[in-house]
Structure 1
Amino acid sequence: MLARLRHQLLVAAALFGTLLALGTPSASAAAVPATIPLKITNNSARGDAVYLYNLGTNLATGQQGWADANGTFHAWPAGGNPPTPAPDASIAGPASGQSKTIRMPKFSGRVYFSYGQKLDFRLTTGGLVQPAVQNPSDPNRNILFNWSEYTLNDSGLWLNSTQVDMFSAPYAVGVQRADGTTASAGRLKSGGYNAVFNTLRAQSGGWSGLIQTRSDGTVLRALSPAYGLETGALPASVMDDYVNRVWQKYASTTLTVTPFADQPSVKYYGRVSGGVMNFTNSSGAVVTTFQKPDAPSIFGCHRLLDAPNDPVRGPISRTLCAGFNRSTLLTNPNQPDTSAAAFYQDGVTNHYARTIHSQMADGKAYAFAFDDVGQHESLVHDGNPQQAYLTLDPLS
């Protein structure tokens, strides 16, 4: 279950980025080279060694593997059952106060970084096993690490900072455009790193249990609430009160979903009947239905809120997922509500996402799978990227 959820989140993020990129025409497509430089700057003020990893799917061949510092692709060898150790794909990172530039190939994947110790990657017969630190026996449980997700293809670069699985060692991402300007995302406010943990500690209802520490007292991360449910830190009923109120409201009120900002005429209308929320189109035909979602479905944006890559159910489900996590469904019957000022105002909400967004310098983060609804995600994109950036920030 743990591995399946992590895999679903990874695949969803990578697939969405890839589909978005492939579906976006670009006049500069031919200008995107086979690799682009990624400059990693270590502003962490930590004295321990940094290790980098560039792992993902080769978009030219569909193979999974890793890229070395020069951007050369290496396919993973066959794995086993039980999982076998993966080849050492680590790249020595920059010391504190220094920078290092490596090459990014046309990938859909992740750039990991760890402090003080290399990560332990394994291979199964199905491919790479990602770290799953919600499992206390995971070999990476006591390592301080984090990652960024990206897609680079002929249409450009999509690069984000992500907290979908966990909030940990802080970093910012950026891309330099052809005109020399730079777009960036993912930077915390001054003192924001510690503020996230302090806020979670003060939040009643089990949210402090998301925080993981090492035996020496080092704070390593806060798990996402999806994993908090699996570890028992959060009660399974954590969202029930809000869901019940939503279901009650829309038994007598219509929830209008306009899922595409560029297609305002496409609307779906939700009403609860017999415990099920039915959505109809403008002709009155039922197009999809939703059972009352539980907390895992809301925090993971899957299961009862599954979002297939189709033109109807997926977009509606994404909108519902965002509305539940941001607790906007009761205050606004027209969704998505894209005004950040209205988010997380109910006492029953995704306090993990609320806390992270409140400490970001620009208010944007990827704190749950569909945090991009309304463009509130920490993402940079350019169709003709000259250089990408990853800046390791202080843990303060």
Structure 2
Amino acid sequence: MPSILRRPATAVATVLALLLAGTLFAAGSAAPAHAAVPATIHLKITNNSGRGEQVYVYTVGTLLSTGRQGWADASGAFHAWPAGGNPPTPAPDAAIAGPAPGQSKTIQIPKLSGRIYFSYGQKLVFRLTTGGLVQPAVQNPADPNRNILFNWAEYTLNDAGLWLNSTQVDMFSAPYAVGVQRADGSTASTGRLKPGGYKGFFNALRGQPGGWADLIQTRPDGTVLRALSPLYGVETGALPASVMDDYVNRVWQKYTTSTLTVTPFAHQPGVTYHGRVSGGVLHFTDGTGAVVTSFQKPDATSIFGCHRRLDAPNDQVRGPISRTLCAAFNRSTLLTNPNQPDTGAAGFYQDVVTNHYARKIHAQMADGKAYAFAFDDVGHHESLVHDGGPRQAYLTLDPFD
């Protein structure tokens, strides 16, 4: 079972990806000057859900100063997890009672890279292995959290500031928005659905043929809990493993006779790589003509997970190229634009073969932004707030329409 940092869309990877893309600071420039970031900051949680169940909140992650995994209480005090076992052992109860409907509650969050979970009606079940925390994995029917309504935001708070994002990389579930009050007193927020967007998403997914409706999970009483990501849909058999094959085959055919140009760094337009398919492999060359990295034809799990055949290490060549390809495959822009990344949302998801889960999520967001797959930040389409000197953060539990 996966541990706390199992996915590339954790807040740490968000920061690294932004740095690689040059979206935080241009190369050689200095970060904005702010007062020192305190050891903890306020997180104001507002319950606008309209639901009557008790809300539980959890702050879990990795303490940046030591690398230890653990949890934080409402005061922001960090507690390292005890040693786990095999089979996994119960974790300490890290639940914080959340605000009642229509109320707000402020807690402290420390310098972690991790997640802020919230659940309705029941506490989440966390367990510990010898390798660390076991998170909910509701694609597994036997997971004890399978019938609990919950969701989470991801954050990194460090000496350089706060990065806080909503995420649908693993699933689309209980609606919420995130925000930050900046050092100058202004606020920024993202992650909010349009009016009617929660039910609108599920209705749209139900209407999408090809197995996409089977991503939806419900409780035995019929309550809709979530929609799994298409990665988990393929892994569980809800989506056919061949769901992206037609598009991938057309891409491979196109770039057998034409060139795909990738310019992965917004602040370095002179750094380009050129891709051609030869012998069934997509090879990228640099300005000297030397092959710098190559990609086997990706399958659906590689595309939806941005891993395996589209692995993106934190380097300066393969990782940036791979994350660009991953975004282009999910958005289906490789046949319409040979110059990537394509940053214009109007051209996304236009092919009949695409990531319909991501398409329908973005269509329901008030600002159009979301983390519907791991590298949805390519081109600044991610639901992220950041400030180098945050006064406080916000988590708003939104209505279920």
TM-score by length of 1: 0.97
Structure 1 position 287 matched with structure 2 position 292:
yes
Distance 2:126 2:248 in 1: 38
Distance 1:150 1:14 in 2: 5
Distance 1:20 1:326 in 2: 18
Alignment partner of 2:268 out of 253, 263, 266? 263
8 Å CA contact retained: 1:17, 1:150: no
8 Å CA contact retained: 1:29, 1:154: no
* SS of residue matched to 1:3: coil
Distance 1:20 1:255 in 2: 22
Alignment partner of 1:8 out of 2, 6, 28? 6
Structure 1 position 226 matched with structure 2 position 231:
yes
What residue number does 2:67 align with?
62
Q: CA deviation at 1:30?
A: 4.5
What residue number does 2:353 align with?
348
Distance 2:270 2:333 in 1: 22
Equivalent residue letter for 1:8: R
Superposition RMSD on alpha carbons, in Å? 1.4
Structure 1 position 41 matched with structure 2 position 38:
no
Task: Please list, as runs of the form range in 1=range in 2, the aligned pairs for 1:88-99 lying within 5 A after superposition.
Answer: 88-99=93-104
Equivalent residue letter for 2:60: L
Q: 1:3 to 1:351 in 2, by over 3 A?
A: same
8 Å CA contact retained: 2:175, 2:198: yes
* SS of residue matched to 1:141: coil
What residue number does 2:332 align with?
327
Task: Please list, as runs of the form range in 1=range in 2, the aligned pairs for 1:127-166 lying within 5 A after superposition.
Answer: 127-166=132-171
* SS of residue matched to 1:9: coil
Equivalent residue letter for 1:224: S
Q: Cα deviation per residue 1:140-183 (whole Å; 9 max; x = unaligned)?
A: 00000000000000000000000000000000000001221100
Distance 1:17 1:70 in 2: 26
* SS of residue matched to 1:160: strand
8 Å CA contact retained: 1:21, 1:156: no
Equivalent residue letter for 2:189: S
Task: Please list, as runs of the form range in 1=range in 2, the aligned pairs for 1:190-205 lying within 5 A after superposition.
Answer: 190-205=195-210
Q: Cα deviation per residue 1:105-164 (whole Å; 9 max; x = unaligned)?
A: 001000000000000000000000010000000000000000000000000000000000
Q: CA deviation at 1:17?
A: 3.7
Q: Which runs of 5+ in 1 are unaligned?
A: none
Distance 2:16 2:345 in 1: 26
8 Å CA contact retained: 2:275, 2:284: yes
Runs of 4+ in structure 1 off by over 3 angstroms are 17-30
What residue number does 1:383 align with?
388
Q: CA deviation at 1:20?
A: 6.5
What residue number does 2:128 align with?
123
Distance 2:243 2:128 in 1: 35
Q: 1:194 to 1:241 in 2, by over 3 A?
A: same
Distance 2:232 2:356 in 1: 14
Q: Cα deviation per residue 1:46-76 (whole Å; 9 max; x = unaligned)?
A: 0000000000000111110000000000000
Equivalent residue letter for 2:12: L
Q: 1:21 to 1:320 in 2, by over 3 A?
A: closer
Aligned residues: 393
What residue number does 1:176 align with?
181
TM-score by length of 2: 0.96
Distance 2:358 2:38 in 1: 36
Q: Which runs of 5+ in 2 are unaligned?
A: none
Distance 1:64 1:186 in 2: 27
Equivalent residue letter for 1:258: T
Q: CA deviation at 1:16?
A: 1.9
Distance 1:106 1:180 in 2: 21
Structure 1 position 76 matched with structure 2 position 74:
no
Q: Cα deviation per residue 1:64-104 (whole Å; 9 max; x = unaligned)?
A: 00000000000000000000000000000001000000001
